[in-house]
Amino acid sequence: MTTVSRYQATISADAEVPIIRITRDFDATPAQLMRAHTDPDLFARWVGPDGMDTRIIDWDPTDGGRWRYVARRDGEEYWFRGCFHSVGEEQIVQTFTYEGMPEAVSLETLTFEDLGDGRTRLHAQSLVDSFEGRDAWLASGMETGVDQGYAKLDALVAEL
């Protein structure tokens, strides 16, 4: 089943620096989105495309903490890991590594902009190691996982 949302993510590539930027609005407060990104049980419920089963292996959302999870579908496993550089009230800075390509580490910054009236704009940027790496991410179909994951996040925050 595909989850649909009234909002769509905007995904863009910077022409000067190997950065991917994602912007997406939510009917949620910054605190609700922060909780959904830092609570391991909540995170596992929404991250990734439909049909993925995510299991958290390690999760310490504090400055200097680390994280690791596995996403499974159709007998395939996809392992991810990183470190939380800083976790604030409205921003998370972390590293992100797909273990299938351990040499490709990105630096991610998530910022939750309060729009008022219980709405928030998520600004996410991923600085990757090269333009080739960035372009490979963009060509991977990542927008499906982003859109479906964020639609699940919409449903989750409505439930909270």
Tens-digit pLDDT profile for residues 49-86: 999 999 999 999 999 999 999 999 999 999 999 999 99
pLDDT at 1 over 50: no
Number of domains in the chain: 1
Tens-digit pLDDT profile for residues 40-56: 999 999 999 999 999 99
Q: Helix (H, G, I), strand (E, B), or coil: what is residue 116?
A: strand
pLDDT at 22 over 60: yes
pLDDT for the residue 137: 87
pLDDT at 34 over 70: yes
Q: What is the mean pLDDT of residues 83-103?
A: 95
4 occurs within a structural domain = no
pLDDT at 104 over 80: yes
3 occurs within a structural domain = no
Cα–Cα distance, 151 to 100 (Å, whole number): 26
Q: What percent of the chain has pLDDT over 90?
A: 88
pLDDT at 25 over 90: yes
Nearest to 65 by CA among 37, 29, 33: 37
Q: What is the domain-level CATH number for residue 119? A: 3.30.530.20
The two most distant CA atoms of the chain are separated, in Å, by 43
Q: What is the mean pLDDT of residues 27-42?
A: 97
Q: Which helix (H) or strand (E) holds 110?
A: strand 105-116
133 occurs within a structural domain = yes
pLDDT for the residue 153: 97
1 occurs within a structural domain = no
pLDDT at 140 over 50: yes
CA distances from 36 to 7, 12, 112 (A): 18, 24, 12
pLDDT for the residue 141: 84
50 occurs within a structural domain = yes
Q: Which domain holds residue 17?
A: 10-159
69 occurs within a structural domain = yes
